[in-house]
Amino acid sequence: MMIVINIIVFILVLGLVILIHELGHFIMAKRANILCHEFSLGMGPILWSKRINETLYCIRAIPIGGYVMMAGEEIEDDVVKEGQIVRLVFDDFNNIEKIIIDHENEKYEQYEKVTIYNVDLKGENNDPLQLNDYTVKRNAFYVFKKTELQIAPVERNFNSKTKMERFLAMFAGPFMNFVLAFFIFILVNLIVGFPDMENTVVGAIDADYPAAETLIEGDKIISIDGANVYSWEDISIALDENPTDRLVELKVLRDGVEYDYSVTPIIFFYNVGFHSKEGAINDLALGEVNPETKAGNAGFLEDDVILTIDTVIMNTWSDIATSLNNNVDGDLMVFEVLRGTETIIISIVPYNHDLVISQGLKVVDSFVGISPIYEFNFFRSFSASFLDIKVSAGMIFTTLDLLFSNDQVGVGDLAGPVGIYSITSRALSAGFVSFLTWTALLSVNLGVINLLPIPALDGGRLVFLGYEAITTKKPNRRIENTLHYAMYIMLLGLFVYITFNDILRLFNIR
């Protein structure tokens, strides 16, 4: 049942961020009086469609995007030419309301068949549309074998609009993704609030961390390891000073009475993906190992006891931290571990330090599981949402930079629809706030990626528009469309490759 719920939520989330994106294009195109032939969510075969006035609204089978088909943006200007045979459908005033391109189709044989010898379906300067000696309605339709498209006279054509109108029609898609993320981040900030960093009162305690055994919410931390603390920043500095400290002495004030407690932090080694077992002081035993981490893939298991690293005996957690901190470039490391009564040799290639730091992590860090009081702040929720978008966009650019600058990150590490489904499922299981945050991040991701100056994406189209603005010359449409189409095919191939890797990861094959 949970799988079904996850699939439904995944479709809704992905559908929402795509819908908002395409709605931005659609609204600004309509505002500029650009004819929109189709508004489609997804790619591939049509699952559902409905024509409303001039636009065909579709839901397609493959959830990898969507599009708004604007007149003149993709299809050729001249659909019919002199010498071509078509059939014509007239209204009550003998004006053409349909031009049937598929003239050999038997279901249209009752309509007049003509050979075109004179045609003007652009109607520049508001001139009437003509086909032979007939007047063509400005909202007439072409009838193809499987679809119908409304004729686009010059005033309804994308390329006839001003540069600003075309810019807004293209930019509005990514912009709407940022707008969606902005309002989601506002909601998150209103729900979560903001940390009060000016005092040392414990606001929340993670039940899975060591502090849950001793501290309670509302405790005021007075000192750590004998040093007085006056703000939450002081607490962070004191706990970060020595991440391998196995006994942290806390003095807290509870109901007017001072208490002394000792807490053993959990140490996380992010470049390999394992952490110390809760309560492990002298025993170098590992806690639960996530199979999707470097450590999990290498074969580490919970309760493994580390004996040596690269033949050097490990006596303390500090020895392990030193060894991993010294492996800056992510070179191969050989661990000797005790598993029950058996000694196991495990080889692992850690993440290099640049990659760990780029994700906002430390190579070695420790946690006791406490956080400050969070307070509601209505107005700050709005201003903070802009920062949240900036941080989210920065994460995306960091990832793109790593693709080209870090040999431990490749295209195969990117997430496609299957990967997004997995992340969405995990975010949903982590709670409503986590789910909302992921949705906002996904929306920012779609906005940023579409603004990249790559043909077939909105950013690529904006580059051609910029060329026109600078040179005052329109780019060759045939060249532009060829570049867009070629890059679209390449992106489709990339999508298949990424999806294949997603599936391998999903079944722990890779």
Catalytic residues: 22
Between strands 112-115 and 85-90, the pairing is: antiparallel
Which whole-number Å values give the CA distances from 372 to 133, 201, 231, in the listed order? 80, 6, 10
């019919």: which residue's tokens? 80
């969510």: which residue's tokens? 41
Between strands 96-100 and 134-143, the pairing is: parallel
CB 265 within 8 A of CB 318: no
DSSP single-letter state for residue 507: T
What single-letter amino acid sits at 132?
A: N
Q: Which residues pair with 131 in a beta bridge?
A: 119, 134
DSSP single-letter state for residue 265: P
- Written as one string, the DSSP assignment of 430-497 is T-HHHHHHHHHHHHHHHHHHHTSS-TTSHHHHHHHHHHHHHHSSPPPHHHHHHHHHHHHHHHHHHHHH
Which has the closest alpha carbon to 361: 490, 243, 510, 504?
A: 243
Which whole-number Å values give the CA distances from 139 to 91, 93, 153, in the listed order? 12, 15, 9
CB 332 within 8 A of CB 347: yes
335 Cβ partners below 8 Å, 6+ apart? 300, 306, 308, 309, 345, 346, 347, 348
Euclidean distance between CA atoms 205 and 184, whole angstroms: 26
CB 270 within 8 A of CB 351: yes
CB 309 within 8 A of CB 269: no
Euclidean distance between CA atoms 139 and 221, whole angstroms: 74
Euclidean distance between CA atoms 39 and 411, whole angstroms: 30
């349909």: which residue's tokens? 98
Q: Which residues of 443-476 are buried (b: 16+ CB within 10 A; e: fewer)?
A: bbbbbbbbbeebbbbbbbbbbbbeeeeeeeeeee
Euclidean distance between CA atoms 216 and 250, whole angstroms: 13
